[in-house]
Amino acid sequence: MSRPAPSSYRAFGAAHLGHAVPIREGSTAGQVGELDLVENLHYLHTTGLRPPVVHQQFSTNGMVTAASVTPVMKAHWGRRPFVDPTDWQIHVLAAMSGATDTGKVRFEAASNVAGGAGGSSDSALGVTIDVPAGSAQWTLVSGRFTCDPAQAIDWIEMHLFCSGATDTVRVHAVEIHPYLGSVAAGVTTAGFVPHDTLETSADDPLSTYTRQRMLGNLRTLWKTRSGSVVSYSDDLSRATAEIETTSASYQLVQVVPYRSGVGQVSLEWALSGHVTGAGTGNVKLVTSRMLAEGTSEVQALQNVWTSPYTAARHDWDDGGNAVLPVYENQSGHLYVYLQSDGAATARLHSLTAWWKDVA
């Protein structure tokens, strides 16, 4: 017996499983049957429904770290881990400026207390991806590391460094999505119920429970596999930020369109920012629904901006904060405002917002 996890989806017509059609096992040449349905469900569970949580292109010149052998945190994104997927899959478009040093791009979870950016060996909650010497622009490199689904919120950090002090590594774009390599036995945390090949024999009676379980699996995936509405990070080591203001009144700095689905009624969020000197400043988040209802979510910014930027990170799960309500199954916008005290500079360095799991 086995729990198959195919690498592709098999499309077939409903007539193969219609009324009075003999039950076939399927998944063999010339056959379409119950095993095909099982494999398609498992494909969606492991491979088919992996929406990106980070999908970002950086500025024109890319994100550049000097020829440094010391890891430098260059970007971070806050995010609630998915319930069932076990890993974060990373794809990076990167380049090296010369043919001497190997570039290093390390991704690590902030919850990784046992690791350390740029360590010589990869820990469970982090991975170092090599960018070979002499790599041309737009070279695709990939890696994967374990996430901690028990975290209500975690931060994915990107660190850059080199094997020597001669060349420079540059990152142009990053995509991060969940990964699940196999189908485990038993009901998953989210409620997905795997099927075994012994349950799909030809000519066996087909119970109503089996079909209900398949439909329930689709509902579980629909409820728990939503992607991000926005995933933005500035170059954290810059002296300034791409999004900043000295205005004492709120300035609209970002407008993000979205389309909610059935059952999606709120956004969870995470951001980082700071105010220079001893000044004060705020980030205000407003959805189309909040705009119509006259509400907003305001986050005060701190004055500390030092790696690893812990004091500058805020999210919906902080005390006093809340999710952002949206209208169900409608198009809308997320409006982002930034404000300082009129003298200091308020800076927004990162913002991530994603759909809360459907109840």
Q: Domain limits of the chain?
A: 14-49+182-224, 54-179, 234-355
Token match 């080199």: residue? 162
Percent of the chain whose predicted confidence (pLDDT) is above 70: 96
pTM for the full model?
Answer: 0.91
Calpha distance 162→15 (Å, rounded) = 58
| Neighbouring C-beta atoms of residue 33, cutoff 10 Å | 21
Calpha distance 117→221 (Å, rounded) = 33
Q: Which helix (H) or strand (E) holds 77?
A: strand 72-79
- Least confident piece of the model among 27-31, 234-238, 274-278, 288-292: 27-31
> Which segments of 126-242 are extended strands (E)?
126-131, 139-146, 154-162, 169-179, 228-233
42: confidence class by pLDDT, cuts 50, 70, 90: very high
pLDDT tens per residue across span 243-294: 999 999 999 999 999 999 999 999 999 999 999 999 999 999 999 999 999 9
Please state the rounded mean pLDDT for residues 140-160. 93
Better pLDDT: 133 or 60: 133
Burial of 350 from C-beta contacts in 10 A (0-12 / 13-18 / 19+): buried
Q: Looking at residue 65, what is its pLDDT? A: 80
- Reply yes or no on whether the pLDDT at 213 is more than 80: yes
What are φ and ψ of residue 38, in 5° steps? -60, -45
List the structure tokens of 334. Answer: 């997320």
Locate all alpha helices (DSSP H) within 84-132, ordered by sequence.
none
**DSSP label of 198:** G
- Reply yes or no on whether the pLDDT at 121 is more than 70: no
Q: Which helix (H) or strand (E) holds 108?
A: strand 103-109
Q: Looking at residue 114, what is its pLDDT? A: 61
Q: Looking at residue 281, what is its pLDDT? A: 98
Calpha distance 145→273 (Å, rounded) = 26
Please state the rounded mean pLDDT for residues 228-232. 97
User: Is the CB of residue 196 less than 8 Å from the CB of residue 3?
Assistant: yes
63: confidence class by pLDDT, cuts 50, 70, 90: confident
> CATH: 1.10.3720.10, 1.10.10.10, 2.60.40.420, 2.60.120.260. Which one for 54-179?
2.60.120.260
**DSSP label of 197:** G
Please state the rounded mean pLDDT for residues 296-300. 98
CATH number of the domain located at residue range(s) 234-355 in this protein: 2.60.120
Please state the rounded mean pLDDT for residues 237-248. 92
| Neighbouring C-beta atoms of residue 302, cutoff 10 Å | 16
Q: Do domains 54-179 and 234-355 have the same CATH topology?
A: yes
Mean of the per-residue pLDDT values for the chain?
91
Better pLDDT: 196 or 135: 135
Highest mean pLDDT among 16-30, 138-152, 156-170, 270-284: 270-284
Q: Looking at residue 118, what is its pLDDT? A: 46
1: confidence class by pLDDT, cuts 50, 70, 90: low
209 in helix, strand or coil? helix
Q: Looking at residue 169, what is its pLDDT? A: 93
Amino acid identity of 251? Q
Better pLDDT: 228 or 123: 228
Q: Looking at residue 62, what is its pLDDT? A: 67
Q: Looking at residue 119, what is its pLDDT? A: 44
56: confidence class by pLDDT, cuts 50, 70, 90: very high
pLDDT tens per residue across span 100-120: 999 999 999 998 866 555 444
- Reply yes or no on whether the pLDDT at 47 is more than 80: yes
Q: Looking at residue 113, what is its pLDDT? A: 65
